[in-house]
Amino acid sequence: MAKIGDTLKPFTTQAYKQGKFVEVSEAEAKGKWSIFFFYPADFTFVCPTELEDLAGIYPKLQDMGVEVFSVSTDTHFSHKAWHDSSPAIGKIDFFMLGDQNHSIANNFDVLREGQGLADRGTFVVDPDGVIQLIEITSEGVGRNATELLRKVKAAQYIRNNPGEVCPAKWEEGEKTLAPSLDLVGKI
Amino acid sequence: MAKIGDTLKPFTTQAYKQGKFVEVSEAEAKGKWSIFFFYPADFTFVCPTELEDLAGIYPKLQDMGVEVFSVSTDTHFSHKAWHDSSPAIGKIDFFMLGDQNHSIANNFDVLREGQGLADRGTFVVDPDGVIQLIEITSEGVGRNATELLRKVKAAQYIRNNPGEVCPAKWEEGEKTLAPSLDLVGKI
Amino acid sequence: MAKIGDTLKPFTTQAYKQGKFVEVSEAEAKGKWSIFFFYPADFTFVCPTELEDLAGIYPKLQDMGVEVFSVSTDTHFSHKAWHDSSPAIGKIDFFMLGDQNHSIANNFDVLREGQGLADRGTFVVDPDGVIQLIEITSEGVGRNATELLRKVKAAQYIRNNPGEVCPAKWEEGEKTLAPSLDLVGKI
Amino acid sequence: MAKIGDTLKPFTTQAYKQGKFVEVSEAEAKGKWSIFFFYPADFTFVCPTELEDLAGIYPKLQDMGVEVFSVSTDTHFSHKAWHDSSPAIGKIDFFMLGDQNHSIANNFDVLREGQGLADRGTFVVDPDGVIQLIEITSEGVGRNATELLRKVKAAQYIRNNPGEVCPAKWEEGEKTLAPSLDLVGKI
Amino acid sequence: MAKIGDTLKPFTTQAYKQGKFVEVSEAEAKGKWSIFFFYPADFTFVCPTELEDLAGIYPKLQDMGVEVFSVSTDTHFSHKAWHDSSPAIGKIDFFMLGDQNHSIANNFDVLREGQGLADRGTFVVDPDGVIQLIEITSEGVGRNATELLRKVKAAQYIRNNPGEVCPAKWEEGEKTLAPSLDLVGKI
Amino acid sequence: MAKIGDTLKPFTTQAYKQGKFVEVSEAEAKGKWSIFFFYPADFTFVCPTELEDLAGIYPKLQDMGVEVFSVSTDTHFSHKAWHDSSPAIGKIDFFMLGDQNHSIANNFDVLREGQGLADRGTFVVDPDGVIQLIEITSEGVGRNATELLRKVKAAQYIRNNPGEVCPAKWEEGEKTLAPSLDLVGKI
Amino acid sequence: MAKIGDTLKPFTTQAYKQGKFVEVSEAEAKGKWSIFFFYPADFTFVCPTELEDLAGIYPKLQDMGVEVFSVSTDTHFSHKAWHDSSPAIGKIDFFMLGDQNHSIANNFDVLREGQGLADRGTFVVDPDGVIQLIEITSEGVGRNATELLRKVKAAQYIRNNPGEVCPAKWEEGEKTLAPSLDLVGKI
Amino acid sequence: MAKIGDTLKPFTTQAYKQGKFVEVSEAEAKGKWSIFFFYPADFTFVCPTELEDLAGIYPKLQDMGVEVFSVSTDTHFSHKAWHDSSPAIGKIDFFMLGDQNHSIANNFDVLREGQGLADRGTFVVDPDGVIQLIEITSEGVGRNATELLRKVKAAQYIRNNPGEVCPAKWEEGEKTLAPSLDLVGKI
Amino acid sequence: MAKIGDTLKPFTTQAYKQGKFVEVSEAEAKGKWSIFFFYPADFTFVCPTELEDLAGIYPKLQDMGVEVFSVSTDTHFSHKAWHDSSPAIGKIDFFMLGDQNHSIANNFDVLREGQGLADRGTFVVDPDGVIQLIEITSEGVGRNATELLRKVKAAQYIRNNPGEVCPAKWEEGEKTLAPSLDLVGKI
Amino acid sequence: MAKIGDTLKPFTTQAYKQGKFVEVSEAEAKGKWSIFFFYPADFTFVCPTELEDLAGIYPKLQDMGVEVFSVSTDTHFSHKAWHDSSPAIGKIDFFMLGDQNHSIANNFDVLREGQGLADRGTFVVDPDGVIQLIEITSEGVGRNATELLRKVKAAQYIRNNPGEVCPAKWEEGEKTLAPSLDLVGKI
């Protein structure tokens, strides 16, 4: 699987976004924060609730300079058809990447061997194309966009404030820690 | 890296738990839910806040039948010394596994190449020894025990209720989904 | 690519058929004639005209003891959604096989390298599981169900009448040839 | 087997054409449409009916700029002797290629392992030397030159009219389809 | 190439003999003397003169218990057609083996690399299936059935008379030599 | 074994010729026709009759520009001793090559595995160093210099008269054949 | 294991020294004598007595131009915490190297396979980076700093006095030996 | 090199001991403590002072149940001659092993590559054949039998008193340490 | 090359001995002493003087139970012819082995690479088939049968008198040495 | 083993010669004749008689321009000690090479596998560094310096008199042979 510190691998694919088919590559994610949000298949059950949840925080993420790419092993034709027919999916404004040749799922090593479907994995990538956060849940367990938002903020904070680290459960605006020799063994 | 669906690999090591040194193996995690909670090093900065956060939910986890194993590449001697000297770490009642030979970190593939330290990774394993949830954050971003609790509950729920799945942000007691042909493309 | 005389390879997948999801394997094609009809993707352009054309001869094929399996690299969820929304596809009563893990397309060696889509290939398989007829057209050229019907009839005729062969353009009821030493060099 | 999109491989051989022995290479097929028409053996049964059928459409194919090459694993001496003695074969004006070293049959991967005979395969190659149409029938099932003509016309049409595709059963002069986003899932 | 002392390798093929198609294998040559007579191609120039020459001594060979197999890489269909149309070939009563899959020519290692034609080679095989005499001439040089007859007689003589050897130019009825210590260096 | 069309391989050895020891290499055979005449051993039985037979035609061969090299795995010392003591061998004026290191016999692939003796093989090589005729007889069957002379003449004739070929049993002065399209299937 | 005469291999690590964290590499040991003093783990039993013993001779070693590096597979954080809490370790003024990635222990080949702990090994390295003295004791047997001092002096003496060697038990100021031919077999 | 914890490898050789030549194998060292004492060569300079030093403690070692084997790459003949001629060596009563085939020096990995001489290495082996102590000094630095005696006593003590360990500089009769959880970080 | 202590390898060949051709194998040399006497070639120069010299001591060797085998890469036919024509060779009564396939020369590793001739090597083999003496001289240096006799006697003596050895230049009847500890360094 | 015609391989070692230790390499043997005289071990039994025998002819060998090198796997220290204590060895004035690293014995391939001792081999090397004579005797059979002298003289003679060879038992001053064609088979 992709690991913390790995660099985003190249890809090129067709995506559906806001009524259009567009070609997307890894270049789209360079120079800004990005979220790759994998799910098993269009027209299924947990997936739309998660995608709708994510759609809800997309405006905030855009304000924070974060792009979002949802990915399944369906085609962009299928994404478009789903967007047309599902009220939940119809709310999505971000990129829906077609990955029927499995290359993006393989790039992040989340393809379920033998099934041709991606695991339910979230990857947060920084502006240098380096993976900073990973979360994967088994089939049937829905993710939580609010917690994702918290972690993206923490990751942005420590990138912007070298020398500080965010303690457990840190929320935007709370105190952080500044590591120093004196703190060793004292927390 | 370990993937959703992988089985817990065998290990044997010394641990510190509640004033004693005990030998622990993968057998300790079989037949019950378990959490493997990796962190970089004893006597450092983010780690104690996360471990204290986790210590806070340990009683609830025990009620839910979930065991907890914290792991770093320090020895059990070091864990004991840290437990003695740190007020935060002193609250821990769960297993603190010594992994100075790196075998457990390698089992879950979270050893940082060249540094000899583990990534900040959480792995939830079901009673069959199968990994169900994964979360990894980069250096400096603290995890959130409350969200972990939510996900463990969801994972337990779908194991106990075959045929149901938990939508995004699901909290204990909320409605779940039951996949059926009629729902295809309708959510 | 699969060749004349090759034997049908094993597969297992989910299919959509007449309002139901069913598991289908190569066993379904054994002991009867069968047609595997590959096309690139659901929700596209030439494909539905070909599938509708094929749907038109399905009753005759059933009378002749021939089963039909359409295959694309989409999921059975996607097939169901397409069947629900497209008037042409809604006429289909045969098996629509999901092949998102590419195993059936690879079995017949019609996967377009790098695209994750199948070529427009038709394979007629006899009751012993042996491929007897192959036709493949490039993107953009539609097939012809009437000609397919003619060839299936010829293949069935020569299986049932050992010692006879069907000349070019042979139609059901026309004269065939019986090879003999005397005919050598005389036609 | 040769696949849609493969490029014509180099060959050099002796051919019989209209009373002469000529050396032919793949260069003869470059820059124009061409048909490679394989059959098992001279002096046999189905083959002459198919070759005669093909001879019948040769004038039209020539008008469309399409060259024809029939191929078996016999020598050009044998082709000449057959042309001399058979009324059906005597009508052939196109190239009859000798392939006793099996190189052309191997180029298209239609050699029957162990028999030294070619399968009954038709390959239509475009002016760039790229295979666009494939058809192969088992021993005993004759091909249909009329259907071949229909498909060659469709292939020529879409090459000459980028952005259009030919639906199933398309005949010269009929309407074609122009793929667009709006058509997705609507046919 | 096959060498003196090599054993006849197994083969199975179709042959034309006296108005019939028959299946022939190496078993046909076991327990009797046999001649394998290779030539490049049916319907060519030197070959028929050699085959006619051989046909002339066939009755004598049969009296001597020797079977004859002519072999080219043409099919048995082609042999039949040639036998029908050529006055010289029409005199042949022995087996004309089809070898379009090149297996017999390869068994004796006389296939011309890249041409798919056999060299002009004669192999005399004894009743144990062991090669005793070899002769090969380049394209354009005809063999001599009379000399072949002389050598087959010599080979049969020494098999039947252990302890004797035939000097140069030996003809049936002439004196042979009996090797002995006293003859060493004395001839 | 060496095959028709193979090129003479390099060698260097000591030879006995007309009362002298001379060093001979493949250069001696370049630019003229040559015969390599292998036999098993000096001081044996069939060999001297064959060598004497060959000695008889050596003057004619010299007139035709053909050099002769006899070869066995004996040394040149042994050849000289045999030439001194045997009346038959004493008549030889051509090169008697020593091949005790087996390199020439291996070049023509006529070494009997395990015995260290050469087979009774004749190889006629043209002025370009290309093998044109091969004849090998088993132990005990003597060759015939008269037939060898006939074949060398035929080989020289077709080299000098491109476009003509010699039919079976052709003798110097007889009619040859000129291959043409019209002759196909007519002989 | 590292051998007498081996050269110090490159390393880079974090160390604790006199209240500071410093980065240390093999460059620190070049151009002066140095001692690498391995022990199994911080917070254990024999180790602190040995380290205290070594701390006692550190001033003399410094006068002699010898640097000291203690090494265990603990981190520098752990070393600092131990230094803070242990009266014996608190006396240490030399470098305490963190080796949690095992690279230095592997450089000297003293890592106990499977345990992730170093053996109790002492290595004296000369100013050219060449190992001159090695001592390793099993778990439970403490080393002796006085004897180490004696051997370092002897090693320095023979480096400074080429042509002399130090006999057994040699102490500073005692007579040495000067090897010569006359001494052979006479001692 | 041999490491702490390695087991004594098998060997067989000739030794000189107290006026006799005896065959010695690793069996001689089993069931008792033993010292393998390597030195470069007979008839040299430092070696005899070390061997004489060792000879001095041999009676005490025998009382402690410890056998001694000195080893160089000389033969037992050479050892005998040296013993005869050198006053220092003449005092030796222990085994002097011949190792001219280098097998014992290789077993302990102390052979100097290219010189055929052993390093100045001491190995103490316990009754189970396991190496417990190692010391190696460079050419020119003499070892110290008194310190060796101290360490052998410590090794024997901890073997006989499980649960105790000997601190640095421990001498027979002094206090030892008993590791316990309470001591962690307290020494 | 064969070494002292190697065992005689198996061989089978034809030999000339006292007017007869006999088959000889290594069995002939088992259970008795034997001499293998290699020389380059029959009919050459140094060889006959050495073989005549050896023939002179053959009666004595026979009395001592020693068999003699001379070997060259000539055939037994050549040996016979040489024996007939040479006065020196005519005196030989021992086995003259033909080795034209080089197997015996290769067994003793005395074949001159590229020449096909054996070196001038003598090998004395004891009744157990073990090589005890070796002598090889370059081309042009004759051996000495008298010295060979001396060495064979010495070899037989020490086999028959275990515990004694023969000093330099020892002749039959002279004193030998009995190795003992007291003699070490005293001769 | 080294063979006649092999070239002296490079070596460097310490030697004892006339009261001094000197470094010797293969350069010492270039440009003059040399004898390498191997023996098993210093302080043994046959060896000193052979070395004394060789010492006796050393003055003559020096007059003939021949250098002598004795070699065993002992050190030069051991050689010196032996020279000091043995009356026989005390007579040696030539080089006594130490070969405790076995490199020279391996160069000539005379090391007894597993024993670490050299075989009793003599090698005479010409001024070009090429081995001309070899003699090896088993343990217990002493060599003969007088015969060695005879052979060295013969080898020098034929080097100085090209075109002549020395017959068996040749002694200085006796007649030699000049090979010529006329002598073939006449000796």
Report the C-alpha dihedral over residues A60, A62, A65, A69, rounded to 10 degrees.
120
* pLDDT value at residue C187: 66
The answer to whether E56 touches D60, Cβ cutoff 8 Å, is no
* CB-facing half-sphere around the CA of J103: CA atoms within 13 A: 18
**Which member of J78, J80, J115 has the closest CB to residue H101?**
J115
Closest CA to I50 of I133, I129, I118: I118
Output the six-digit token pair for D23.
């050396």
Query: How many angstroms separate the CA atoms of A135 and B135, rounded?
Result: 4
The residue with tokens 């997936």 is A47
**Which member of D46, D155, D187 has the closest CB to residue C165?**
D46
Catalytic residue among J2, J47, J57, J131: J47
Q: Phi/psi at B165 (nearest 5 deg)? A: -135, 155
* pLDDT value at residue E42: 95
Contact J184 F81 (CB under 8 A): yes
Query: How many angstroms separate the CA atoms of I86 and G16, rounded?
Result: 95
Contact I185 H19 (CB under 8 A): no
Neighbours of F181 (CB within 10 A): 12
Strands (E), H40-180: 66-72, 95-98, 120-125, 131-137
Give the pLDDT band (50/70/90) at residue D27: very high
Please state, in angstroms and as integers, the Cα–Cα distance from residue A186 to each residue in A163, C121, F169, G96, following that order: 18, 70, 110, 20
Interface residues from chain I to H (CB-CB < 8 Å): 181, 184-185
Closest CA to E165 of F40, C81, A167: F40
Is the predicted pLDDT of residue G52 greater than 90, yes or no?
yes
Mean pLDDT of the residues in chain C: 93
Contact H184 B81 (CB under 8 A): yes
Over residues G13-23, the pLDDT tens digits come to: 999 999 999 99
Over residues I144-155, the pLDDT tens digits come to: 999 999 999 999
Cβ pairs bridging A and G (under 8 Å): 11
Interface TM-score (ipTM) > 0.90:
no
Over residues H96-130, the pLDDT tens digits come to: 999 999 999 999 999 998 899 999 999 999 999 99
D105 burial via Cβ count (<10 Å: 0-12, 13-18, 19+):
buried
Task: Give the whole-number percent of chain B exceeding pLDDT 70.
Answer: 97
Q: Quote the minimal CA–CA distance from A6 to chain G in Å.
A: 20
Chain J residues with CB-CB distance to I53 below 8 A: 168-169
Chain D residues with CB-CB distance to F184 below 8 A: 77, 80-81
Q: Phi/psi at A33 (nearest 5 deg)? A: -70, 150
Chain G residues with CB-CB distance to B116 below 8 A: 73, 99-103
Contact E184 I19 (CB under 8 A): no
Output the six-digit token pair for H156.
């024997």
Compute the residue count for chain G. Answer: 187
3+ Cβ–Cβ pairs closer than 8 Å linking B and C: yes
Instruction: Pinpoint the alpha helices (H) of chain D.
Output: 46-63, 76-85, 103-107, 145-160
Contact C135 D135 (CB under 8 A): yes
Output the six-digit token pair for C17.
């058929």
* pLDDT value at residue H109: 93
DSSP G109: T
Chain D residues with CB-CB distance to A77 below 8 A: 184-185
* pLDDT value at residue J125: 97
Over residues B115-165, the pLDDT tens digits come to: 999 999 999 999 999 999 999 998 889 999 999 999 999 999 999 998 898
Which residues have a Cβ under 8 Å from the Cβ of E47 and sit 6 or more positions away? E39, E40, E41, E72
Over residues H154-179, the pLDDT tens digits come to: 999 999 998 898 889 999 999 998 88
Contact A43 C80 (CB under 8 A): yes
Hey, of I110, I136, I148, which one would you mutate to test binding to chain J, going by the most J CBs within 10 A of its CB?
I136
Neighbours of A159 (CB within 10 A): 15
Q: Phi/psi at B156 (nearest 5 deg)? A: -65, -40
Give the pLDDT band (50/70/90) at residue H42: very high
Query: How many angstroms separate the CA atoms of G43 and G23, rounded?
Result: 23
The answer to whether G71 touches G37, Cβ cutoff 8 Å, is yes
3+ Cβ–Cβ pairs closer than 8 Å linking F and I: yes
Q: Quote the minimal CA–CA distance from G53 to chain H in Å.
A: 7
Contact A20 D181 (CB under 8 A): yes
Compute the residue count for chain C. Answer: 187
Interface residues from chain I to F (CB-CB < 8 Å): 41-44, 73-75, 77-78, 80-82, 85, 99-102, 114-117
Is the predicted pLDDT of residue H1 greater than 70, yes or no?
no
The answer to whether F156 touches F172, Cβ cutoff 8 Å, is no
The answer to whether C133 touches C33, Cβ cutoff 8 Å, is no
Please state, in angstroms and as integers, the Cα–Cα distance from residue F165 to each residue in F6, F65, F182, G17, I37, following that order: 21, 21, 16, 99, 58
Over residues A128-152, the pLDDT tens digits come to: 999 999 999 998 899 999 999 999 9
Cβ pairs bridging B and H (under 8 Å): 12
Catalytic residue among H15, H47, H61, H110: H47
Is the predicted pLDDT of residue E187 greater than 80, yes or no?
no
Please give the span between the terminal C-alpha atoms of chain I, in angstroms, as a whole number.
33
| CA-based nearest residue in chain H for residue G121 | H134
* pLDDT value at residue E1: 61
Give the pLDDT band (50/70/90) at residue F187: low
Q: Quote the minimal CA–CA distance from C23 to chain D in Å.
A: 25
Least confident stretch, G74-83, H58-67, J39-48: J39-48
Interface residues from chain E to D (CB-CB < 8 Å): 41-44, 73-75, 77-78, 80-82, 85, 99-102, 114-117
Residues with pLDDT less than 50, chain J: none
Is the predicted pLDDT of residue D187 greater than 70, yes or no?
no
Per-residue pLDDT of chain B (187 residues; tens, 9 = 90+): 678 999 999 999 999 999 999 999 999 999 999 999 999 999 988 778 999 999 999 999 999 999 999 999 999 999 999 999 998 999 999 999 999 999 999 999 999 988 999 999 999 999 999 999 999 998 889 999 999 999 999 999 999 998 898 989 999 999 998 877 777 766 6
Contact B181 C84 (CB under 8 A): no
Contact J184 F77 (CB under 8 A): yes
Q: Quote the minimal CA–CA distance from D122 to chain A in Å.
A: 30
What is the arithmetic mean of pLDDT over I36-60? 93
Closest CA to J123 of J101, J104, J103: J104
Contact H184 B77 (CB under 8 A): yes
Over residues A53-76, the pLDDT tens digits come to: 999 999 999 999 999 999 999 999
Hey, of D22, D77, D83, D86, which one would you mutate to test binding to chain F, going by the most F CBs within 10 A of its CB?
D77
Interface residues from chain A to D (CB-CB < 8 Å): 19-21, 77, 80-81, 84
Output the six-digit token pair for E113.
């690399």
Cβ pairs bridging A and B (under 8 Å): 180
* pLDDT value at residue A140: 85
Chain D residues with CB-CB distance to C169 below 8 A: 53, 142, 144-146
Closest CA to D78 of D99, D101, D54, D93: D99
Q: Quote the minimal CA–CA distance from A87 to chain C in Å.
A: 14
Q: Which chains touch F (3 or more CB pairs under 8 A)?
A: D, E, I, J
Is the predicted pLDDT of residue E183 greater than 90, yes or no?
no
Mean pLDDT of the residues in chain A: 93
Instruction: Pinpoint the alpha helices (H) of chain G.
Output: 46-63, 76-85, 103-107, 145-160
Query: How many angstroms separate the CA atoms of D43 and D85, rounded?
Result: 9
Contact F73 I100 (CB under 8 A): yes
Please state, in angstroms and as integers, the Cα–Cα distance from residue B64 to each residue in A129, B33, B58, following that order: 39, 9, 10
Chain B residues with CB-CB distance to H185 below 8 A: 77, 80-81, 84
Contact H181 B20 (CB under 8 A): yes
Give the pLDDT band (50/70/90) at residue I187: low
**Which member of G20, G21, G84 has the closest CB to residue A185?**
G84
Please state, in angstroms and as integers, the Cα–Cα distance from residue C58 to each residue in C81, C92, C123, H178, following that order: 21, 9, 15, 87
B21 burial via Cβ count (<10 Å: 0-12, 13-18, 19+):
middle
Complete domains list, chain C, with CATH = 12-143 (3.40.30.10)
3+ Cβ–Cβ pairs closer than 8 Å linking F and J: yes
Over residues H6-26, the pLDDT tens digits come to: 999 999 999 999 999 999 999
Instruction: Pinpoint the alpha helices (H) of chain F.
Output: 46-63, 76-85, 103-107, 145-160
What is the arithmetic mean of pLDDT over C131-142? 92
What is the arithmetic mean of pLDDT over F46-62? 93
Neighbours of A56 (CB within 10 A): 15
Compute the residue count for chain H. Answer: 187
